[in-house]
């Protein structure tokens, strides 16, 4: 069974100023963490391990670093080493625009022209930096739209991993920053591949299931009250506290056992090792090495996961 393990490579701190430094200590620490895990995962699975690194190369990075490739160029030797180990690269496109009048960043999802500019900037920078077109993509802040997906499909993207099933419609993800437009609902979507509007682009939602059995009882009870009558599935993120690491992987196994195309897709931020959330993620990945599940896994390039997938015409949808 394929598992996609991705890392959103971003500045250590979400920028607030027009010229904030692009801190990348988190990236270095994340590489060290996965360098330690890789050989042990290979021993446990009996297969080579591939991680996917989703890079910020959008106009916000251009404004902070002088060019949209500023972040990637600073870590280029590390990225080339990771590619040599079998890892793959993709894009993680945010739509931040500097608002000089408001003296702050705006997640400008409400302007289709700006969204298109962000996408084109990132894809052009990726091609110029790495000499190949980008085939793997994730939007930032859970944003997506039919027009944006049409555009990345036209630019040669094979797979997009933005969708986080079980999330409601919301004006913005970061409540501390301004935003336009809205983040669409994925409340009723499941962790099943979706072909976008009959194109060659596949949407590969992150793994989401009911985390209830893996949560402490008081949180489980509160969730059932709060979400009464609503779907209980949510992304099975590595960032939260579960009843035990073993209970977490049991929840993952229940989720993938109930879908026609079983796969696991997990993504972390590159600043994870700098946060308290690493105290949750590290034991979960250590526990994976001890499960029977690990022997069934193949840490894979997301392009390989969707290659050869087919769905009937009636099941082909566009995400709204």
Instruction: Give residue-wise pLDDT tens across range 236-262.
Output: 999 999 999 999 999 999 999 988 999
Domain annotation covers residue 318: no
> What is the residue range of 7's domain?
2-310
Q: Judge contact between 159 and 303, C-beta under 8 A.
A: yes
Q: How many domains does the chain have?
A: 1
In this structure, is residue 283 part of a structural domain? Answer: yes
Q: Is the dihedral of CA 126, 271, 114, 88 positive or negative?
A: positive
CB 230, CB 187: distance < 8 Å: yes
The string of pLDDT tens digits covering residues 45-97 is 999 999 999 999 999 999 999 999 999 999 999 999 999 999 999 999 999 99
Contacts of 74 (CB under 8 A, 6+ apart): 22, 24
CA angle 89/95/96 to nearest 5° reads: 115
* Helices vs strands, H then E, count in the chain: 10, 14
The pair of structure tokens assigned to 296 is 């069934």
In this prediction, residue 225 carries a pLDDT of 78
Count of CA atoms in the C-beta half-sphere (13 A) of 4:
32
In-domain check, residue 316: no
Q: Is residue 319 part of a domain?
A: no
CATH code for the domain in which residue 131 is found: 3.20.20.370
pTM of the complete model: 0.94
The answer to the question of residue 317 being in a domain is no
């Amino acid at each position: 069974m394929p598992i996609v393990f991705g890392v959103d490579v971003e500045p250590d701190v979400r920028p607030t100023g027009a010229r904030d430094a692009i801190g990348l200590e988190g990236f270095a620490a994340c590489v060290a963490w996965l360098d330690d895990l890789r050989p042990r995962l290979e021993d446990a699975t009996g297969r080579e391990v591939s991680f996917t690194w989703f890079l910020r190369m959008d106009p916000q990075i251009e404004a902070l670093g002088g060019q949209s490739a500023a972040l990637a160029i600073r870590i280029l030797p590390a990225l080339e080493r990771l590619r040599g180990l079998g890892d793959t690269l993709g894009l993680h496109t945010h739509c931040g625009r500097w608002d000089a009048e408001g003296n702050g960043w705006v997640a400008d999802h409400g302007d289709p022209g700006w969204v298109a500019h962000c996408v084109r900037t990132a894809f052009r920078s990726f091609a110029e930096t790495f000499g190949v077109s980008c085939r793997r993509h994730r939007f930032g802040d859970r944003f997506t739209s039919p027009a944006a997906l049409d555009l990345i499909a036209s630019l040669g993207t094979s797979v997009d991993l933005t969708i986080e099933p079980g999330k409601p419609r919301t004006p913005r993800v970061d409540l501390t920053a301004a935003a336009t437009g809205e983040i669409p609902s994925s409340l009723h979507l499941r962790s099943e591949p979706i072909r976008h509007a009959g194109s060659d682009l596949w949407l590969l939602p992150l793994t989401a299931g009911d985390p209830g059995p893996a949560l402490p009882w008081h949180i489980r009870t509160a969730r059932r009250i709060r979400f009464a009558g609503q779907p209980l599935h949510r992304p099975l993120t590595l960032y939260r506290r579960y009843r035990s690491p073993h209970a977490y992987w049991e929840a993952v196994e229940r989720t993938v056992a109930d879908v026609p195309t079983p796969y696991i897709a997990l993504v972390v931020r590159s600043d994870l090792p700098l946060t308290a959330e690493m105290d949750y993620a590290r034991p979960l990945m250590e526990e994976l090495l001890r499960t029977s599940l690990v022997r069934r896994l193949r840490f894979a390039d997301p392009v390989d996961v969707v290659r050869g997938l087919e769905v009937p015409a009636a099941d082909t949808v566009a995400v709204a």
